[in-house]
Structure 1
Amino acid sequence: MKIQILMLVLLQSLVTCQYIQAQDSLFNSDFQSKKNSTEKNFDLGSNSVYQSTDNGLTWHDISASLPSNLKNKAFFVNNGTLSLLSNYQLYNFKNGSTPVNWEKEYSLGINIKDIYTCKSRVYGRSSEGDFFQKINGSSLWLPIQMPNSMVRTVLETQTGTLFVGCDNGIFKSTDKGKSWKHVFEDGIALNMVESNGIIIAGGQQGILRSINGGESWDWVIREGGVGISTEVIDGGFAAITYNTTSKTRRVRISTDAGVSWQAIDGSGLTPTPFIASIKQVGKNFICGHPDGILLSSDKGKTWKLVLPTIKNKVYNLSVSGKIIYAIPLNGGC
């Protein structure tokens, strides 16, 4: 009985979450590097992890102690620890650890596909669509019943309201997940963020905005393609959008609470189908692009390459305080 009660309590606990989508293969990987390997079908770029501690200006490879030929699927930062998910296993790296050391833990045979990092917990969705939460300090994953099994993003607002983005829209809970209201029904919803009461989300046709606590939603960018990513930046929001006419992704920012958006793909940032990430660290914008990692110190007017690409891969970025992590993955978001 005590175990059953504990399970019920755990299943009802949800916290502020930020979605990090795991990456599916969009390219045929044929990267070659200076490193030598005798292992058959070894992908020399598959287990590279880069770290920057100076706002993206310089980068250092911290993957030396990782096993060879990892298949990168997802990574996330939680409570100062970077975790890399690869085929039923998690590899953890503590910020600032010297020498660089990765510790392995098992995910108990659960094929986690997507990761959602939280202030006090980590959540995952399996390839089969089941939803789980990871118990802190252990390798135990417990199932969670959600309003829709195909969860894409989870957000807790500053007021404690929970939003879950799914394949069939957005669900809202004001009682910590005990009950849910379907507040948006027009297709898939991805990676929601909130700032000053304004919620921005990637939707099936572009970027969504809510100004009334998620009760209603309006399209602020509608180009026919999915809103790939949303981020909070100084004074506003950033987003990656896909245009079905040009068949390219573009980076945009808004400085008026998400009402209007301007492209910031200035000199050096070419629109492509595979832009993966946009982050702000300090005054710098950092972008994961097929050319490599690009940096802008003038709000997107000009961009410079700070870390070259690994062939057929795009760097996906994650930020923990002033530290930036980059992992080359197949394709974009």
Structure 2
Amino acid sequence: MKKIIYIVFLLLLFSCKTNNKTVKSNSNKPIKWQKLGPNTTYEDTLNKFSKSTETYWFGNGQIASLWADPNDADHLLAGVAFAGLFETNNNGENWYLITPNTPTISIKKILKKDGILYISTGYRFKNPLRFSAIKYNFYGYGVLQSSDNGKTWSKPSGNFYCADFSMEKSHQIAFAVDYKNIYKSEDSLKYFTKLFSFKDKIPDKGELINVVVNPNNNSLVYVSSAFGNSKNDATLFFSSDGGKTFSNKTSVIDDFAPKAISELGKYVKDVSLFYDEEEAILYAHFSVAYRFLGSNQKEYHKVTSVILKSKDFKNFTLETIQAKKNGFHFIPFIQKIDSTLFIKDWYLKMKNPSEKVFKDIGQGKTHQDTRAVAKTKNGTIFYGNDAGLFKSEDNGHSWQDAFVHLNANLIMEAGYYSDKEKRRIAFGTQDDGFYVNDFNGKSRYPIATHEGGIYQSKHDIDRIYVKDRQVKITTDGGKKFRTIKMNNGKPLGIMHNDGLLREDPVDKTKLYASHYDGLYVSDSLGVQGTWKNITPKNKLNGRGSCLAIPESNTNILYYANEWINIPYKDAKYDAYQYKAHLLKSTDSGATWKDIGKPFSAIFDDQSIISTVITDDSNPDNVWFTLRNLIDNKKVYFSDNGGVTWQNITYNLPNVPANRIVYDAVNKQLLLGNDLGVYILKSEKWIPFGEGLPKIIVTSMFVDNQHNKLIISTFGQGIWQIALKN
């Protein structure tokens, strides 16, 4: 039953045409969305900071896959995390989205065969706490295909995150893998069925990353996994019966990997695969970790790349062995283009046929995490990573930003300030740093490295809080930061954007924050020694997610938290259990009342309260939204302070509801979910405005002074639109 419901959910997402009329003004002219820009180049951003390893956390978005047209040097496709498929016809100068009407997707692989364009979809979150808008570990629709160069796309081929796929010569038979399972299609990738699970055959934290089928013999199939450890190897699996059974072939590495260099033994950390169709050679890249005991009696590891190749899909020979600089950070990668082999260490590496070892390319000039590489007809190398896309026309000696105009940042959280003269949006990204844009037509500018959420003071434009595991505050617009510490001297801990941080709307020095063990308030903007624990009793395990403080009565607090019954450090990726609570205080947190009891069953069913808001002029008007996959249970409203509730989900699609805002001036309610922005009109939710692609909305702000609605998105940067024409 769950599978049927989920398939229906996927089809709804993909073909969602519910209420496809957009809101227009009284003059019947559509209100159009405007994308905020321009971006800064990676090099310009980097120049504002010292060039140390820590400062390479900047960029313009995450590139998950690339494809270069073998017949046109200017034509490329790029799969952007959570933003879709983009195309350029001028060698990366300009990019255009060619999947605007598909739901939010990430693309792990791009392949074009006999005029058919194939893309694998999905994104794997190893830790669902990392970004609460995506509480689920995968977001995928199998393999999509287009026969008209991306103008139209097929329906989903399955309800799974597709890490990789491979097809035999006739394209009739194909295999695909997600992080634990293998799937097979016998109808030219139109629909995949699950063969079986590798869950018990790989480590708990391991995942499948590649699948290769022999194009001339679909009985021969290889599957590889990543994230092995000292107790369990990453694995190379082989099937000789078309995927009916698989055997472990990881031991093939024993004939080639160095043996007597480790005190404590070795293990296989990662295995990646690539099939070179032109030469009919299968490549296997093994990351082999050797264990040593340091002088401090702590274990450390050194990693060696061992690359094997096979011409008959059964027997392997050695291609090369090379020590790696760092093998413990990212999923491995191997690809052969023309005669050049590419792998990733900390940076991208390449090896030509005449060379015995791989050499670093782009070191110190691009972000470290390699995800994709492509080479055009004229020899230009495009390199996709967590900072965007870079290109080199001199074989990797120098690089330039090829993605600066796209604005594809994965924005985890944004904050907004507005007065009559100034506007500012501050935002934190995944992997690409923290930025500020002042709506003055100039480029955004960076204020901090790394990744996480952010909070912008509404009292002071220069007071900004960044949330990267520890909370830091700046009072000069980002020039200097100080770490906010609790009374015991330990830093205020908030993992990325998952913890709440709110200033009192009236008292300019009062700060509320959710630490790991509850809710706290400070009357001095978080100065050590000024924190008071106001956590509701019997909710000490709760991690706060939302706090609403009505401006007309700041003694009233509406507080949502989550209880997790398996500690993060001990939890398996699929074992998180949530229990949400919604509470109210009328005495600034001295006492609390549970106003979420009517929703106990929903809160038990993997739902997270994503937003709680009030009408500032009437604190009894309360709304809250839920992130879940439970149909018709997304938005609730109370006009009596939580005594009774009304379900106002109405016709919203069954996707997580992430944010909701109330425009008190125009008396309108607006909601952001995983498909965009909706407005409530006569008990019907309607897509708001024109020109916004289907995208995950992570923050929303109403600015009546400037007649604007501003949103941040996970994959498409910052957008704004007029509230009224």
TM-score, normalised to structure 1's length?
0.69
* 2:475 match: 135
Between the aligned partners of 2:470 and 2:614, the Cα distance in structure 1 is 29
Match of 2:417 among 72, 75, 78: 78
Q: Is the 8 A contact 2:417 2:424 kept in 1?
A: yes
Output one character per residue of 1:189-228: Cα deviation in whole Å (capped at 9) or x when no partner: 1221112232112211132211221122232124223321
CA RMSD of aligned residues (A): 3.4
Instruction: Summarize the Cα distance change of 1:171–1:214 in structure 2 as closer, same or farther, 3 Å threshold.
Output: same
* Matched-pair contact (CA < 8 Å) for 1:249–1:274: no
Contact 1:239 1:252 in 2 (8 A): yes
User: C-alpha displacement at 1:172, in angstroms?
Assistant: 2.6
- 1:54 is aligned to none
| Cα distance in structure 2, aligned partners of 1:43 and 1:169 | 45
Does 2:177 align with 1:124? no
Query: In the alignment, is residue 172 of structure 1 matched against residue 547 of structure 2?
Result: no
1:249-288 Cα shifts (integer Å, max 9, x gaps)? 511122112333222112x323x34212111112111111
Q: CA deviation at 1:78?
A: 1.9
Maintained 8 Å contact 1:91/1:102: no
- Distance in structure 1 (CA, Å) of the matches to 2:660 and 2:90: 33
CA distance in structure 1 between the partners assigned to 2:510 and 2:438 by the alignment: 31
**Which residue is 1:304 aligned to?**
686
Q: Does 1:190 align with 2:545?
A: yes
Secondary structure, in 3 states, of the residue corresponding to 1:81? strand
- CA shift digits 1:140-177 (9 cap, x unpaired): 33222136412722234345643212332111334554
1:226 aligns with 2:608: yes
Q: Aligned partners of 2:624 and 2:676: how far apart in 1?
A: 19
Asked if 1:153 corresponds to 2:153, the answer is no
Aligned partner of residue 276 in structure 1, secondary structure: strand
Cα distance change of structure 1 residues 30 and 149 upon mapping to structure 2, 3 Å threshold = closer
Q: Distance in 1 between matches of 2:442 and 2:595?
A: 42
8 Å CA contact 1:206, 1:241 repeated in 2: no
Distance in 2 between the 1:162 and 1:30 partners? 35
Corresponding residue SS for 1:103:
coil
1:188 alignment partner AA: R
Given candidates 610, 624, 639, the residue that maps to 1:255 is 639
Counterpart CA distance in 1 for 2:556 and 2:480 is 35
Aligned residue number for residue 375 of structure 2 = none
**More off after superposition, 163-172 vs 304-313:** 304-313
Structure with bigger strand share is 1
Q: State the AA in 1 paired with 2:609.
A: G
What is the rounded CA distance, in whole Å, between the counterparts of 2:696 and 2:523 in structure 1? Answer: 40
Q: Which secondary structure state, in structure 2, belongs to the residue aligned with residue 191 of structure 1?
A: strand
* CA deviation vs aligned residue, 1:113-157 (integer Å, no higher than 9, x gap): 01112122110111xx12111233443332221364127222343
Q: Is the 8 A contact 2:428 2:466 kept in 1?
A: no
Matched, 1:241 2:626: yes
Q: 1:47-105: CA deviations, max 9, x gaps?
A: xxxxxxxxxxxxxxxxxx973353232322124212344412514132xx5xxx14332
Q: State the alpha-carbon separation in 1 of the partners of residues 639 and 476 from structure 2.
A: 37
Rounded Cα–Cα distance in structure 2 between residues aligned with 1:302 and 1:248: 13
Give the whole-Å Cα distance in 1 for the aligned partners of 2:712 and 2:511: 29
For structure 2, the residue ranges without an aligned partner over 5 or more in a row are: 1-61, 63-79, 99-402, 563-579, 717-725
- 3-state DSSP of counterpart to 1:269: coil
Q: For residue 107 of structure 1, give the secondary structure of its aligned residue in structure 2.
A: strand
Q: Which amino acid aligns with 1:153?
A: L
Greater Rg, structure 1 or structure 2?
A: 2
3-state SS in 1 of match to 2:657: coil
TM-score (norm 2): 0.34
Conservation of the 8 A alpha-carbon contact between 1:198 and 1:209: yes
Q: Is the 8 A contact 2:514 2:544 kept in 1?
A: yes
Question: How much identity, in percent, do the aligned residues show?
Answer: 15
| SS of aligned partner of 1:29 | coil
What pairs with 1:44-55 in structure 2 (closer than 5 Å)? 44=97
Write the letter of the residue equivalent to 1:201: Y
Cα drift, residue 312 of structure 1: 5.5
